[in-house]
Structure 1
Amino acid sequence: MSNSANILLALDSLKTIFSGRLKIFLGKENAIDIDPPRFVMDNSPFASFIQRHQPSFDEYVILLLAMAPHIKPEYLSSIITEYIPDGSNFPEIGGTTGSTHRGILPTGETAQFIIAGNNLDKRIEVQRILGNDHWLARKHILWLEPIREGEPKMSGRLTLNPEIVEELTLGKISRPLFSIDFPAEYLETEMNPDDLVLPPETMLNIREIENWIAHNDTLLYDWNMKKVIKPGYRAIFHGPPGNGKTLTATLLGKKTGKDVFRIDLSRVISKYIGETEKNLSRLFDKAENKNWILFFDEADALFGKRTDVRDAHDKYANQEVAYLLQRIESYNGLVILATNRKTDIDEAFSRRFQSIVHFPILKPGERYSLWIKLLPSQLAMADDIDWHMIAQRYDLSGASILNIIHYCSIEALASSQPLNLKKLEKAIIREFTKGGKVV
Structure 2
Amino acid sequence: MVSKAHDNAQTIQLELDWLQQILKARSAINSNSSPAPSDLLQIPAPDLSAMDSSYADLVRKFHLGPEDRFLLILAAVPHIRPQLLDMFMSRNQLTQQIYTEFGGRKGKTHNGFIPTGETVMFILAGNELKKRFQYQNLLDSSGVLFKENILRLSEVEAEESFLNGALIISRDILDLITTGKVKKPGFSSDFPAQRLQTHLDWEDLVLSEETWIQLRELEVWLKHKDFLMQEWKMSRILKPGYKALFFGPPGTGKTLTAALLGKKMGVDVYRIDLSRLVSKYIGETEKNLSKVFDRAEKQGWILFFDEADALFGKRTSVNDAHDRYANQEVSYLLQRIEDYDGLVILATNLKNNLDDAFMRRFQSSIFFPIPQAEERLMLWKKGFPEQAKLESRVDLNAIASSHELSGGGIINVIQHSLLMALENEDKIIRLDDIKEGIQREYQKVGRTI
Q: TM-score, normalised by structure 1?
A: 0.89
Q: Is the 8 A contact 1:106 1:158 kept in 2?
A: yes
Which of 193, 201, 220 aligns to 1:192? It is: 201
Unmatched segments (≥5 aa) in structure 1 = 82-87
2:10 matched residue in structure 1 = 5
The CA distance in 2 between the partners of 1:324 and 1:101, in whole Å, is 31
1:62-73 equivalent positions in 2, closer than 5 A: 62-73=71-82
**Alpha-carbon deviation of 1:92?**
5.8
**Alpha-carbon deviation of 1:89?**
7.5
Instruction: Read off the aligned partner of 2:25 and give its amino acid letter.
Output: G
Which of 22, 32, 53 aligns to 2:62? It is: 53
1:30-429 equivalent positions in 2, closer than 5 A: 30-32=35-37, 34-77=43-86, 97-117=106-126, 119-145=128-154, 154=163, 157-417=166-426, 418-429=428-439
For residues 107-155 of structure 1, what are the alpha-carbon distances to aligned partners after superposition, in whole Å with 9 as ceiling and x for unaligned?
Answer: 4344334434454433222222124554433443334455678776545
User: Structure 1's 9 and 381: CA in aligned 2 closer, same or farther, altered over 3 A?
Assistant: same
**Alpha-carbon deviation of 1:4?**
0.9
User: Structure 1's 158 and 319: CA in aligned 2 closer, same or farther, altered over 3 A?
Assistant: closer
The CA distance in 2 between the partners of 1:128 and 1:205, in whole Å, is 45
**Alpha-carbon deviation of 1:226?**
0.6
* RMSD, aligned α-carbons: 2.8
The CA distance in 1 between the partners of 2:413 and 2:233, in whole Å, is 51
Q: Is the 8 A contact 1:147 1:153 kept in 2?
A: yes
1:432 matched residue in structure 2 = 442
User: Structure 1's 357 and 22: CA in aligned 2 closer, same or farther, altered over 3 A?
Assistant: same
The CA distance in 1 between the partners of 2:144 and 2:54, in whole Å, is 20
Q: Is the 8 A contact 1:180 1:267 kept in 2?
A: no
Q: Is the 8 A contact 1:10 1:39 kept in 2?
A: no
Instruction: Read off the aligned partner of 2:19 and give its amino acid letter.
Output: L
**Which piece of structure 1 moves more, 41-50 or 230-239?**
41-50
1:85 matched residue in structure 2 = none
Instruction: Read off the aligned partner of 1:17 and give its amino acid letter.
Output: I
User: Structure 1's 186 and 211: CA in aligned 2 closer, same or farther, altered over 3 A?
Assistant: same
User: Structure 1's 166 and 365: CA in aligned 2 closer, same or farther, altered over 3 A?
Assistant: same
Instruction: Read off the aligned partner of 2:436 and give its amino acid letter.
Output: K
The CA distance in 2 between the partners of 1:155 and 1:272, in whole Å, is 25
Count of residue pairs the alignment pairs up: 434
Partner of 1:226: helix, strand, or coil? helix
**Which piece of structure 1 moves more, 325-334 or 223-232?**
325-334
The CA distance in 2 between the partners of 1:77 and 1:56, in whole Å, is 26
For residues 370-414 of structure 1, what are the alpha-carbon distances to aligned partners after superposition, in whole Å with 9 as ceiling and x for unaligned?
Answer: 111111012122233222111111111111111111111111122
**Alpha-carbon deviation of 1:202?**
0.5
The CA distance in 1 between the partners of 2:373 and 2:102, in whole Å, is 75
Which of 21, 29, 33 aligns to 1:16? It is: 21
**Alpha-carbon deviation of 1:93?**
5.6
Partner of 2:69: helix, strand, or coil? helix
Instruction: Read off the aligned partner of 1:420 and give its amino acid letter.
Output: R
Instruction: Read off the aligned partner of 1:419 and give its amino acid letter.
Output: I
The CA distance in 1 between the partners of 2:335 and 2:98, in whole Å, is 46
1:84 matched residue in structure 2 = none
Q: Is the 8 A contact 2:11 2:51 kept in 1?
A: no
**Alpha-carbon deviation of 1:317?**
3.1
Identity of aligned residues (%): 47
Q: Is the 8 A contact 2:267 2:301 kept in 1?
A: yes
Q: Is the 8 A contact 2:245 2:345 kept in 1?
A: yes
**Alpha-carbon deviation of 1:94?**
5.5
**Alpha-carbon deviation of 1:67?**
1.4
**Alpha-carbon deviation of 1:41?**
4.2
2:34 matched residue in structure 1 = 29
**Alpha-carbon deviation of 1:311?**
4.6
**Which piece of structure 1 moves more, 102-111 or 362-371?**
102-111
Unmatched segments (≥5 aa) in structure 2 = 1-5, 91-96
The CA distance in 2 between the partners of 1:164 and 1:12, in whole Å, is 20
Q: TM-score, normalised by structure 2?
A: 0.87
Partner of 2:244: helix, strand, or coil? strand
**Which piece of structure 1 moves more, 402-411 or 313-322?**
313-322
For residues 305-360 of structure 1, what are the alpha-carbon distances to aligned partners after superposition, in whole Å with 9 as ceiling and x for unaligned?
Answer: 22444554444433332332222121111111111122222222222111111111
Q: Is the 8 A contact 2:54 2:176 kept in 1?
A: yes
**Alpha-carbon deviation of 1:367?**
0.8
Partner of 2:234: helix, strand, or coil? coil
Instruction: Read off the aligned partner of 1:136 and give its amino acid letter.
Output: L
The CA distance in 2 between the partners of 1:339 and 1:31, in whole Å, is 63
**Alpha-carbon deviation of 1:229?**
0.5
Instruction: Read off the aligned partner of 2:408 and give its amino acid letter.
Output: A
